[in-house]
Structure formats: structure tokens, C-alpha cells
Homo-oligomer: A and B are copies of this chain.
């Protein structure tokens, strides 16, 4: 059994936007009781983050990513190599358990889509639910 929907959302450069409610709605629509919900961002300069949606923490993460793969360093790939590297480290997909028809997230866990590219981009996130009802 499988159910899928796509979320489209504009995200500014280096920002993370909370999509937990949208994903939760898709899980409800799926009618799946026990299974898995995969959240996959279709861009190679984007990421899916499962962590606490707290503005200062997201600022810390942004600064730390600038340290790990700086936008000011020299790269061979034109323009946005650092965006691809940040995406590779955070991952563009994560899979969350579904229990009793709901996402089994911890209290301080939200699902966010991050845009690591140089400018605002519309991000496409495919949400897929599999399991049994």
C-alpha cells in the first residue's frame, strides 16, 4: 500500500521552513495506520531536517554550515558547490515512522525543508506513506 503527494514551497537562501503540519495532513489522507512516511526534497541544493524549529538554533546551524562548507571558499564546480556539499551532509531525505495513523515524532522534532542554494527557490518535496491500515 502506498500513497504520495507533493508539497511545493518557496524557501529563501539558507532558510529552513517547517512543513510538519503539511506532512501530517498527507499521513491522515493516506489512511495508513502503521508504516513509514518518507520526506524527499527533489533539489540537490536542498535538505530535509528533522530537528527543533527554534529560530536561534536554525541561526546557529546556518553559521555552522558556513564554517563547514563556506560560501567564500574556492570550489571547482561553478557558483554553488557549497550548497551541494551542505545538502549532502544534512541529507535530502528522511523517513519517519507512522503509528496509530500519526507521525511518531518527538516533542522537539519538526520536519523542515532547507534551501541551501544562493537565492530563493521553490522547493518540491515528495511525501510518500507506505504500510498497512
- List residues of A whose CB falls within 8 A of some B CB: 1-4, 32-36, 38, 40, 42-44, 49-52, 54, 56-57, 59-61, 64, 68-69, 75-78, 81, 84-85, 87-99, 104-106, 108-109, 124, 126, 128, 130-132
Contact = CB atoms under 8 A, between A and B. Distances in A.
Contacts of A81: 56-57, 60-61
20 contacts: A1-B131, A2-B34, A2-B130, A2-B131, A2-B132, A4-B99, A34-B128, A38-B95, A42-B105, A42-B109, A44-B50, A51-B88, A52-B84, A56-B81, A60-B85, A64-B85, A93-B96, A95-B95, A97-B126, A128-B131
B36 A38 contact: yes
> Interface residues of A: mostly helix, strand, loop or mixed?
mixed
Contact of A128 (B36, B68, B87): B36
Given A2-B33, A50-B93, A128-B35, A44 B84 contact: no
Contacts of A124: 106
Given A36-B36, A90-B88, A106-B42, A132 B1 contact: yes
A78 to B, nearest CB: 8
Given A42-B105, A91-B94, A126-B104, A57 B84 contact: yes
